């Protein structure tokens, strides 16, 4: 029996207000994490937020008008995907998952993860957990027949080094958190062109998420990171997906106030602009990438 992830009391952000923007039917939140104290943390992990459960997240979904989600294995649990798989069991066909493994993962384990609802592997080069960039090619080859993709979180300085490797892959690649371009450089940073070249191959996607991670101007408008977001929207609308990054573990680690999820969704809607473009970012694109039904 799956462990119970439905009884937590995470101090979920966004207060009790709804977002002004109401997403289209079937809207997908392409980046969340879930946590339960019954799952042992990886000894090497540094981000260890409190419990953030499926019940807690359903409150966020209801407030924001979201329907489906992608649960991403956090660095907290390393390569132990037990929490993730239990969450997918509870969320059913309204969720899919992104796992973390290392190079020693067997084909049998990959198939087990696939049957549990996993559709991609995360390489977290910022908070080291699981496979390293030396495993990109070998794991990419092994997951190709499963129809999975590789999701990468990296610092801006790492993109020039790993872009040639990513270009060798036959599977799609997803760039976490808009590429985490530092401020105030933003799109003037040399890695902007590297990332844009990757996306222009047609195999690479970008998550409109984590606006607060690199911002110096801060909440509620995150104007500096907004410039990066608008650049992605102008150049690659058909390759973008939206994610809340709930429950914002990197922000929670600082001990400061958590980002307001309702404000973040409204902000993305303002950046994207039209309702048809938001439908593409929240429904059409993630359905193509993650295999959800339209």
Give the H or E element holding residue 1: none
Q: How far is CA 72 from the centre of its chain?
A: 6
Look-up: residue for tokens 């798989």? 85
Is 42 designated active site?
no
Report the alpha-carbon distance of residue 45 to residue 208 in Å, rounded.
25
Residue of 29, 56, 176, 245 marked catalytic: 245
Q: How far apart are the C-alpha atoms of 283 and 206, rounded to whole Å?
A: 14
Would you say 136 and 165 are in contact if contact means Cβ atoms under 8 Å apart? yes
What whole-number distance in Å separates Cα of residue 180 and Cα of residue 183? 9
DSSP conformational letter for 146:
G
Quick one: which of 148, 144, 203 has its CA closest to 175?
A: 203
Catalytic residues: 245
């Amino acid at each position: 029996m799956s462990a119970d992830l439905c009884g937590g009391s995470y101090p979920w952000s966004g207060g009790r207000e709804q977002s002004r923007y109401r997403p289209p039917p079937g809207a997908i939140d392409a980046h969340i994490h879930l946590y339960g104290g019954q799952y042992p943390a990886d000894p090497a992990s540094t981000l260890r937020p409190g419990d953030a459960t499926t019940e807690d997240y359903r409150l966020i979904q209801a407030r924001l008008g979201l329907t489906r989600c992608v649960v991403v294995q956090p660095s907290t649990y390393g390569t132990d995907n037990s929490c993730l798989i239990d969450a997918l069991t509870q969320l059913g066909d309204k969720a899919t998952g992104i796992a973390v493994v290392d190079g020693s993962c067997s084909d049998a384990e990959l198939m087990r993860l696939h049957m549990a609802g996993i559709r991609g592997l995360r390489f977290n080069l910022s908070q080291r957990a699981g496979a390293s960039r030396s495993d990109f090619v070998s794991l990419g080859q092994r997951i190709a027949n499963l129809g999975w993709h590789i999701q990468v979180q990296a610092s801006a300085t790492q993109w020039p080094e790993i872009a040639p490797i990513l270009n060798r892959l036959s599977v799609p690649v997803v760039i976490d958190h808009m590429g985490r371009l530092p401020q105030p450089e933003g799109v003037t940073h040399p890695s902007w062109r590297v990332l844009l070249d990757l996306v222009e191959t047609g195999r690479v996607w970008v998550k409109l998420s984590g606006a607060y991670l690199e911002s110096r101007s801060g909440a509620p408008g995150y104007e500096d990171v907004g410039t990066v977001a608008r650049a992605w929207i102008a150049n690659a609308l058909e390759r973008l997906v939206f994610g809340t990054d709930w429950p914002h573990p990197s922000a929670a680690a600082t001990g400061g106030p958590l980002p307001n999820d309702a404000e973040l969704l409204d902000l993305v809607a303002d950046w994207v602009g039209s309702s048809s473009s938001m439908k593409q970012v929240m429904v059409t694109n993630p359905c193509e990438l993650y295999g959800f039904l339209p």
